[in-house]
Structure 1
Amino acid sequence: MDGTPESARPPAGRTRIQERNRAAILEAGLAVFSSLGFSGATLDRIAREAKLSKPNLLYYFPSKEAVHLALLENLLDAWLAPLRALDPEGEPVEEVLAYVRRKLDLARDFPRESRLFANEVLRGAPHLSGVLGGDLAQLVAEKSALLDRWMDEGRLARLPSKHLVFSIWALTQHYADFETQVRAVLGEGHDPFAEAGEFLDTLFRRLLAP
Structure 2
Amino acid sequence: MSRIRRKNQDLIIEVASEQFAMHGYAATKMADIAKAADIPKPNVFYYFSSKDKLYYAVLETVTQPLLAASLPIEQLDDPVEALTQYIRTKLTISRHYPHASRVFASEVMSGAKVLPESIRDKLFEQSQMIISKFATWSKQGFMDEVPPHHLMFAIWSATQTYADFNWQICSVLDKPELDDADYEQAATFLTKLVIQGCGVKSRV
Instruction: Report whether the alignment pairs 1:96 with 2:83.
Output: yes
Q: Does 1:174 align with 2:164?
A: no
Cα 1:166–1:21 shift into 2, 3 Å: same
CA positional deviation for 1:174: 0.3
Tell me the CA shift for residue 29 of structure 1.
Answer: 1.0
Question: Partner amino acid for 1:168?
Answer: I
The 2-side partners of 1:177 and 1:76 are apart by 15
Alignment-derived partner of residue 27 in structure 1: 14
Matched, 1:42 2:32: no
Corresponding position of 1:200: 190
Verify the 8 A CA contact 1:83 1:143 in the aligned structure 2.
yes
Aligned to 2:100: 113
Q: Secondary structure at the match of 1:146?
A: helix
- Which residue is equivalent to 1:73? 60
Q: 1: distance between equivalents of 2:90 and 2:192?
A: 16
Higher relative contact order (CA 8 A, sep 6+): 2
Q: Comparing 79-88 with 160-169, which one deviates more in the overlay?
A: 79-88
| Structure 1 residues 95 and 21: CA distance shift in structure 2, 3 A | closer
Q: How many pairs align?
A: 197
The one-letter amino acid paired with 2:149 is: K
Give, in angstroms, the shift of residue 47 of structure 1: 0.6
Structure 1 position 197, deviation (Å): 1.9
Q: Could you tell me how far apart the structure 1 residues matched to 2:120 and 2:74 are?
A: 23
Structure 1 length-normalised TM: 0.82
Query: Taking structure 2 as the reference length, what is the TM-score of the superposition?
Result: 0.84
Question: Separation in 2 of the partners of 1:99 and 1:44?
Answer: 38
Q: Tell me the distance in 1 between the aligned counterparts of 2:76 and 2:189.
A: 26
* Residue type of the alignment partner of 2:85: A
Q: Give the distance between the partners of 1:123 and 1:184, measured in 2 at CA.
A: 27
What whole-Å deviation, never above 9, does each CA across 1:140-188 have from its counterpart, x for those lacking one?
1122212111110111111111221111010000011100001111224
Does structure 2 retain, via aligned residues, the 8 Å contact 1:88–1:146?
Answer: no
Q: Using a 3 Å threshold, how does the CA distance of structure 1 residues 111 and 208 change in structure 2: closer, same or farther?
A: same
Alpha-carbon offset, residue 17 of structure 1: 4.9
Q: Secondary structure at the match of 1:41?
A: coil
Decide which structure has the larger Cα Rg and report it: 1
Q: Structure 2: which 5+ residue stretches go unaligned?
A: none
Structure 1 residue aligned with 2:109, among 119, 122, 140? 122
CA RMSD between the two structures = 2.3
Partner of 1:52, secondary structure, is coil
Among candidates 51, 69, 80, match of residue 64 of structure 1: 51
Indicate yes or no: 2:51 matched with 1:51: no
Secondary structure in 2 matching 1:39: coil
**SS state at 2:26 partner:** helix
Distance 1:159 1:47 in 2: 49
State which drifts further: 86-95 or 178-187.
86-95
For residues 11 and 174 of structure 2, the distance between their equivalents in structure 1, rounded to whole angstroms, comes to 34
SS in 2 for 1:40: coil
The residue number in structure 1 matching 2:72 is: 85
Gaps of 5+ in 1: 1-8, 11-15
